[in-house]
Chain A
């Protein structure tokens, strides 16, 4: 029998309180900056089947409220009280999603019966492997990404498996940090167990067991209620990562969203083949995999801020994830930088759902947050210094009734920066600029949020700089309903100097004494026709330098007077001239839903949808280990605008003639 709804709400609060307690315990006692500063960790309470029933809201990352431990848990044959299990292997149960993420779960028994689990993950600073921090876009197989543990017991009946720990510590670069965090993590699991025992006393084990099941139903109901409010239909969308690896070609993510009543199918067929870089997203083809649904959580929560966050949210959604693609790679594909691809998957879902309910969704957020690290020497002490500088984050997209937020927001809202003064006191670099980049938000009835512009100078030779997640330099955050795409991102060394070097998506480079690193994030997309934006608002944007003076007329059709006054107080709107200009510019035809910006428009003139679809279909017919290779050959070969499926076939035939080693007939037989 179901738990009554009053008790259910009270139980929901108590479950969340238990999860918050675990999160605060971990946060309070962890050692590494990944946990303390970046909050790259999550906490869950799972039902007996391993499905997330409750998560904290205050602390931690936003990706895993729908996490399902169901495939990983049975990889250990039996459990007893006092056990704590772990894994960080992306290919064992598809629970951990890259090697630095260490996942723990602890079974809780009541009167000899398994009742639930306390669980969570932390991002370790390093898990060994080819590069410090274990992450690089250039890595091509999982073995380069550090030591992996398939589901194993860290504690067996309360006794620590010291040998396991020793193996881990022998293989990682910062063992002290890992151990410190792991201790804190185990403490959080135990706090969770204590809280669960209090719940048993308060509610009774039967109510708790049934209540967890009902809470999943509750979340499912909320998700279905939202789906019912969205028109049925089929909505296709695609978005691109700029590069599929170092110096690469674009990687397309594609989805066909089919909404039918209170359920939805997300068919990712047409997404790129799995990549010979670490941008793959390991899902094991799980139709409810949480990484594929992060964008969905954002959409559901934005539409209903009273949403209960748990696995139930994923039930109405079914993902189709073809094997051997970037969204379901085969072992041993590298997956370390799946975060870059996940950013595109989120914007992919925002775009698909945006077509289904244009009036309720914002334009694309900036969509790429560069995580910048510097390795340099401090000439005052002679010591080597490694420091995180700042995430360089862009604004959110124009909203249904407001401008996008500047400098951060939407799916990057959880990131924090480090004060310039702290960094300058600790690291021998000097900031030259940290602020908003004018004119970078997509024009619209509601403007896209502005990009961030950060510049810093370094002073010693061989200063190594990494900027992870670089993307959106080429393909911009799209605008909707007449709104324009936000400005793309740039990264360069010594801008404006003769020795300037454009870096853009290059994510690892070396700088020398006096060099200035300049990063501008992408800007958010605009929403609605810029010609409909109130002239007063445009004037205000110009006065505040969110919008360049020239853009007022060029983008918004607003004619300003008083331009000669550099104090900006004489600036005013010439209303008659503005109305005349806008009348002249207005077209009596509906806007296309999206505005992608010049780069994507140019790219899609060559790689039309039919051409790209033909390519992904062709690649899907090849053995997995051929796909990425052939994709690059096809990309090289197809350069003509207006191409279609036939042109792709032509290039393919030419390639077959050139490389007879490719045996498509064998692939088909596989």
Chain B
């Protein structure tokens, strides 16, 4: 029994979530980030945990950390200077990418700059064929020349990505060995070790991201490990991964790419856990902060996993928790165009200068300012008492627009909220159409600093009946670390037919993956608990251009039951695309293994049942909605108890967020302290 700590670093705050196993209590904490001295806020947080909750470093039995150091390194382009070695005559694999530009209608559209400039890309004379046979052996001299040129350019490390290395990694290994001999001081990553998928651009870019963030991530984790040790924390730190799992921080020093989306993924994992515990298997999570608004789908209690998640302007092709951006958060700026139409975004005031009402120098009207003008914000402090929004500044900012669209100040603010919501509606709608699900079967789970502020309005727009506001919306990501399992992904590209003749190749690949998975879990991760091995095949009809992921039931690979494997694919295809074609040949592109070891999940003692059903409002607020001022009750979240019932319109404030509940919603507090809002029919 001890204290388990989850920590997540965001743009403005670093969040702590503490699970006290003895007392069966969950606590949370936020500390402002200190960009000048990264890492300092972590130690400050440890001090506060001790001050406020009496947590001594030696009490901490588990420390799980989600960090943005990887993603920030990519977005700010502050990573390593790399050399890339490719097959000769294919040096432009990263610059050509998959050709398509981000904006199809613009003559000025361009992709993000590659992580390695063209003068640091060197062709190697060699050729591996698609069946894994060698057409031309590695020309050692071309490798030596390339590495010497790279050294002369002063690179920090080398990434090797050769054509068809997914099928046979021998040439990459050979090139790596030569590179290590010629330039032992440089770090080397091979595409076939980082993530050996077919598709040269996707594999190369994944390996490049790994190399690009490696020095910064490795350095950061080293300092983290040292910092915790120096404070007397004996538990070895774990870090959250893009796939929603966790691993030892020590492993993250080389497997950097697997933790690039650490923060966003653990937010979804935390939300999924909250939703499951509360008995809502189908949930759309809505994470809104000052600078971002993200949604994710949780179906049957499970997050969705995708390839090609975005890191800034680059795609990432390792399995990651699928998250879609639907806007730029509470800081999105409202403006009026030449036709007199009010617009919201895409420009954002971000976290600096931030919304006008934050009083940090921002003067442009933002979504957050609109909420302040409407009276939802400003009567109370935000962010654990860090500051109080200044309504006068918000009114001044919104006032610049009101005169231009001939509406009153509050009407303008309400219009901003409605337009912002309709913009988010477009994006959520696309996500829903992509997955072919019906929003009416889902609950919305808003979290992050601004999620509960906008959540009910968005749910109403989407026709969703239910909104679930977790008890600590501000620290769901930190909570995600506490509930995540140790987990890693393994892949082998096969490109075989789902027919009996290829059963042995499937079996051999499974054996190799199983061995690699076990070695990772037991040796690298040093996990001793019970292990789970889940198999997937990425399959398609021959001639299709993308695969779908199909879970393979236990024993199918072992027995080589290819007919059953093909049938599983037909069904999955029908489920997603509304048709299947049992006459078509089925290809197995990849065999994948997900190895995981379960962590202990927090157990929360049910809250004491409220004596009376009706909570007592702390005061009455004047709030503007539906075109007029209304008196609405104002509740403190801390004063709400299990089984309290009340209804919108109302405002609920807590240390880390403010929830705005429009009319038409009935609210109940459940046994875990979540607020369940249901729309009256």
Contacts and interface: CB of A to CB of B under 8 A. Distances in A.
Interface residues of A, number: 87
Contacts of B108: 302, 362, 399, 402
A10 B418 contact: yes
B598 interface: no
B579 A36 contact: no
Contacts of B201: 419
A69 to B, nearest CB: 21
Contacts of B553: none
Contacts of B92: 406-407, 434-436
Contacts of A66: none
A33 B545 contact: yes
Contacts of B429: 17, 20-21
Nearest to B151: A567
Interface string A56-95: 0110001000000000000000000000000000000000
Nearest to B198: A421
Interface in B61-114: 89-93, 95-96, 98-101, 103-111
Most buried by B among A36, A183, A435: A435
A372 B30 CA distance: 57
B660 to A, nearest CB: 19
Nearest to A428: B130
Interface in B201-246: 201-202
Interface stretch (B420-428, B476-484, B645-653): B420-428
A422 B107 contact: no
A568 interface: yes
A421 to B, nearest CB: 5
Given A9-B343, A407-B96, A36 B544 contact: yes
B422 A10 contact: yes
B600 interface: no
A586 interface: no
Interface string A384-414: 0000000101001101001001111111011
Interface stretch (B174-182, B298-306, B334-342, B498-506): B334-342
Interface string A7-43: 0111001101100110011001101010011000000
Contact of A20 (B198, B343, B422, B430): B430
A544 B117 contact: yes
Nearest to B165: A421
Contact of B149 (A361, A414, A435, A567): A567
Interface residues of B, number: 71
B433 A10 contact: no
A517 to B, nearest CB: 15
A6 B91 contact: no
Contacts, number: 218
Given A416-B100, A436-B95, A298 B426 contact: no
B338 A28 contact: no
Most buried by A among B118, B463, B546: B118
Contact of A25 (B105, B338, B343, B433): B433
A130 interface: no
B291 interface: no
B104 A436 contact: no
Nearest to B338: A225
Contact of A567 (B117, B148, B425): B148
Contacts of B425: 13-14, 17
Contact of B430 (A21, A191, A410, A420): A21
B495 interface: yes
B415 interface: yes
A632 interface: no
Given A406-B95, A409-B110, A417-B99, A13 B426 contact: yes
A408 B107 CA distance: 11
Contacts of B101: 405, 408-409, 413-414
Interface string A127-151: 0000000000000000000000000
A432 interface: yes
Contact of A6 (B117, B200, B415): B415
15 contacts: A6-B419, A17-B425, A17-B430, A24-B433, A222-B337, A222-B338, A302-B107, A397-B107, A409-B101, A414-B100, A421-B164, A435-B92, A436-B96, A545-B118, A567-B149
Given A24-B433, A222-B339, 9 more contacts: A9-B419, A10-B419, A17-B430, A21-B432, A28-B577, A29-B578, A306-B337, A307-B105, A417-B99
